[in-house]
Structure 1
């Protein structure tokens, strides 16, 4: 099957194999990766280096002659210029890791080029001067001038003693990251930093094919096989130069490069078309979800929801689409539009009255201190609430505390390990059933650790990455460190507690923005207490929580089906690739 036919006949697989991606970049639409097209690109490169992308021409000069010319040039450079890059001339059948056409030949990488690399400490960097190309600038197939770094003219002269990269040479990263390569296309002189190698080919015309060869999975597999190191995997130059490379005739190399460029351009167009479709789909989803939050009343919302529900399977086809649906559900919940109001419900002001009475009772009993008054500023509320609701600050109807970290120099604070002890990193869980560490009774007695009861909500006030603002719930009595806030609702009601929790999930981004500080912004118990909560009647809180649980479960089912479908599509794309490679071997008689 031709490469073009392979693309068009399996178009649904290449465009349908989409996976979640943690960060954006080429081949991604926001948070998704077009895995099928990525797999297609890899297949094109592999077919190219196996001799299956273009037809062989018996009139081409055999690659063995090309290799012979390389070895002659290597010998001449050794004698005239003191070339030191050299690999073994011998190759056995066991060294060959690919089946290649008879007109191709094997040669070790070190016999094809002069290796220019620099070791030791890179010269001091300055704001302007001679450009410095580091491993960070060498990407897969191109040189990225960002980040920009420079060294002085004097350092350039003293540093670049092993040779100067020329236009058309190939730059390679032997570690961190391993295996990136790009052809030099810069007109300006530049310095090459350590952890980068310049391949100066004895026959410069092979450079474009060698870029394909190095980026293809067979050669990348050889790199991994010969690499060393635990934390930063890399390959030594002595190992790198001995890797065998399959070389086609020079004329065939040119045809391969032309065909790869043509097919990669087709992949680019396919990728752009798919990304545009995903963008348009996302815009449609945003628009339809917007009709829900903009519904004037429960009846209009029900009608809009019914129209949306009819097309769930076609609308919500990505993880981020389903996540947006979840956020819309929570938004409707806290706006009072998810369930109908009941005129018979006791209004939220009655709930606050009961809470005030309970607080007064506890203060008189001496079990809690009188809470600080939290003023509400009229006109500062985000939106209008339904009748019977009211805006209240979290500290108005909860008790908020924190914890401490016992001295690590006191082993008796951690042994015997009696009480679960929560850190901010554990707040990513929905519930806390156990903890990574425990503290002793002595630690509770002598430090500021408090043991909070089951049902207490724990919020991360600071921590790495997305930690700040996360909320979880204790399923066991536990203490916390000082990076956590412990929230205890005055009214002991499971649905009331879950309503507070869903408010935190909905307000996650807004809560994080309230943090103060420099490199690591923090929340504190005061900022937590000041969080504005839309408080419904208690009976309505019960209905809201029940409806949210029901709809979020539906979203999770959608996401599970989506994951299974995407996984199947990716597996099918993988199977097509493997089948094509097997058939190519059989057709070629390998």
Structure 2
């Protein structure tokens, strides 16, 4: 294994599995250690005995809860087989066609979606039984169990590419192809030496991955600390000092997609704190905007015959660390917006399947389907009402829908005095922590009353436009930076793959 190949493989933490794969492939092709014996070729079926398994009837409680391990694909993780999630009784063993698998057998998964990317293979260290999706390969005298497992791992790429078929739901091994594979075997003594060397190198891989994980964790903590120094700056001078410190180390800090995502979130937070653009005291203050909003809402209410509202008074809501600049005004989300949730109409998936696919159909996280009619025909702010995304924030919570579209009952529909206000509110909702407004854990939900109680720092209308423009500019830069990082990683992985192919060719 050349130093240049090692450098390429160890430069990316995500390429640890490829390094392990390379070690296994070199080992079973005789290129990891000098060969000290003649290697003899066999078909796999000549050097192992094969056993299958089954599932005892779940309707027979006397078959379950005993002391005999019953191994299924969900037990196939890492290391050796020493236990299982489920156990059968001695009665099940006696009255069904299940056999005890001898110690030292190698279990492989024969049917599972995991065969898209991996061939699980583990050595049994306890007598056990297996289900129908597992095969047990018991070595004959020519091959040791640890070396058999190593051979399977070293042949994994070829087996997955050539011996796996895709069914209607999952992948499965074509055992006729697998058992016909040619296996080159060294002497038993040399097998032991090769396995020992592989174990030594795998321990080094463990150490390398642990060190990389420590470096990544330290990098993440550093990024978080420096970004926090921006959002927590006491005044303009403190903010400039923090920004200078971050700017000096920008190319060192923002080298991963996760760090760029953290930077994007900080941009949103700085935008709603009034620290991305200058304030202009000559501009109309937010107080005047709130007056227009109140008038606008009153007019709309009159037009809709005084539709009921769940808005709360202007000083309610959870506390926030944001101290808005002069000219801004504290209010609540409900006081600044018009909620149009009453116009939403959910349509079941079954019904949508029978309707023409013309207009976007929105759910909590964006467009989820098309439908033949529309409910709305103007830009409106949609905010996810329920789902795990309220907590984990894997995609934006708030987004603006445009054109003609339909919205189901999993997204709040928000109107405002202008589209500029909606764009600012989109940034605001995506910037703040929504946990104080979310109820439920199994199914998180932010109902209309909670949404309306969000405390809102509202800048003057002209400043809103500047904030939105600056955030769009900086987020665009972040997206381009993230794309370049992703492309560099893909290029690195392609290079590593080519080098691995060359190394084992």
TM-score w.r.t. structure 1 length?
Answer: 0.75
> For structure 1, which segment, 462-471 or 275-284, has the greater mean C-alpha deviation from structure 2 after superposition?
462-471
Query: Aligned partners of 1:290, 1:53: CA distance in 2, in Å?
Result: 48
Alignment pair present for 1:289 and 2:289: no
Aligned twin of 2:346: 405
How far apart are residue 294 of structure 1 and its match? Answer: 1.7
Query: Aligned partners of 1:570, 1:111: CA distance in 2, in Å?
Result: 37
Aligned twin of 1:165: 101
Alignment pair present for 1:38 and 2:17: yes
What SS is found at the alignment partner of 2:495? helix
What SS is found at the alignment partner of 1:309? helix
Match of 1:15 among 7, 10, 13: 10
Alignment pair present for 1:473 and 2:400: yes
Aligned twin of 1:438: 371
> For structure 1, which segment, 359-368 or 347-356, has the greater mean C-alpha deviation from structure 2 after superposition?
359-368
Deviations 1:383-414 (A, max 9, x none): 25223333322221212223113578989994
Deviations 1:142-173 (A, max 9, x none): 44857x222334224434x5532233221111
Alignment pair present for 1:504 and 2:504: no
Aligned twin of 1:492: 418
Aligned twin of 2:145: 207
Query: Aligned partners of 2:317, 2:161: CA distance in 1, in Å?
Result: 63
RMSD, aligned α-carbons: 3.1
Quickly say closer, same or farther: Cα 1:40–1:536, change in 2 above 3 A. same
Query: Aligned partners of 2:227, 2:67: CA distance in 1, in Å?
Result: 53
TM alignment of 1:89-104, pairs within 5 A: 103-104=38-39
Query: Aligned partners of 1:575, 1:220: CA distance in 2, in Å?
Result: 14
Quickly say closer, same or farther: Cα 1:411–1:193, change in 2 above 3 A. closer
What SS is found at the alignment partner of 2:425? helix
**Contact 2:268/2:427 (8 A) holds in 1:** yes
Aligned twin of 1:532: 455
Aligned twin of 1:221: 158
Match of 1:255 among 193, 203, 207: 193
Quickly say closer, same or farther: Cα 1:389–1:39, change in 2 above 3 A. same
Quickly say closer, same or farther: Cα 1:244–1:127, change in 2 above 3 A. same
What SS is found at the alignment partner of 1:423? strand
Alignment pair present for 1:393 and 2:362: no
Query: Aligned partners of 1:371, 1:120: CA distance in 2, in Å?
Result: 58
Query: Aligned partners of 2:498, 2:484: CA distance in 1, in Å?
Result: 21
How far apart are residue 421 of structure 1 and its match? Answer: 4.3
TM-score w.r.t. structure 2 length?
Answer: 0.87
**Contact 1:347/1:389 (8 A) holds in 2:** yes
What SS is found at the alignment partner of 2:173? coil
Match of 2:243 among 272, 297, 305: 305
Alignment pair present for 1:314 and 2:309: no
**Contact 2:107/2:134 (8 A) holds in 1:** yes
Aligned twin of 1:369: 307
**Contact 2:318/2:455 (8 A) holds in 1:** no
- Which is higher, the Rg of structure 1 or of structure 2? 1
What SS is found at the alignment partner of 1:54? coil
Aligned twin of 1:194: 132
Query: Aligned partners of 1:404, 1:327: CA distance in 2, in Å?
Result: 32
Deviations 1:10-66 (A, max 9, x none): 44422323xxxxxxxxxxxxxxxx233322211111111211111122xx3xxxxxx
> For structure 1, which segment, 117-126 or 247-256, has the greater mean C-alpha deviation from structure 2 after superposition?
117-126
Aligned twin of 2:292: 354
How far apart are residue 501 of structure 1 and its match? Answer: 0.6
What SS is found at the alignment partner of 1:234? strand
Deviations 1:311-342 (A, max 9, x none): 21111111111111111122222233333433
Query: How many residues are aligned here?
Result: 491
